[in-house]
Amino acid sequence: MAQNQSTNSSSNSGFTLPAPTEAPAAAPTTTTATVILPPGQKFEGTYTVASDTSSRDLLIGGGVLLALFIAFFFARGAYANSLVGRRVPPAKANAAGWWLFIFMGSLATGLVLSVVNASRFLTPVIMGSVASVALLALILMLVTGRK
């Protein structure tokens, strides 16, 4: 009886892997061309345009930006308190903290926009304005935070 069970288990193994197939011969090399289509149009019905940003990507980017802004708000308060500890007047320390918040917020906004859709948002007009706001806020933070 034990011999009957061993023959049954070997004949009914359940899952088996398929036989390996040989790799096809190397295909001849072909040249490729880059085709730029307007957003929303498809090339031969199979490929979508990569520069189109879905609402899901924008929603995730907005959530990340909101979380960063909350963290920056607490960093602003800590920076202002550290300036008050170094004998900077509280009004100037608070203003310097807000300039720090604007500086970090503009840098985070530029970073999130470039990650969400680099082809649309990584242009000189958008990134130049975000960088100029960040630079202005950095200068004002350093000037305002003095004694």
Please report, for the chain, the start and end positions of each structural domain, with discontinuous segments joined by +: 69-144
pLDDT at 140: 96
Phi, psi angles (nearest 5°) of residue 84: -65, -35
Helix (H, G, I), strand (E, B) or coil at 43: strand
Going by C-beta distance under 8 Å and a sequence separation of 6 or more, which residues neighbour residue 92? 83, 144, 145, 146
Pair 58, 116: CB distance under 8 Å: yes
Angstrom distance (rounded) from CA 37 to CA 45: 12
pLDDT at 52: 61
* Average pLDDT for the chain: 83
Angstrom distance (rounded) from CA 107 to CA 125: 15
44 dihedral zone (left: phi>0; alpha: psi -120 to 50; beta): left
- The answer to whether residue 129 scores a pLDDT higher than 70 is yes
Across 8-17, 26-35, 50-59, 87-96, which has the greatest mean pLDDT?
A: 87-96
**CA torsion, points 54, 56, 58, 62, in degrees to nearest 10?**
180
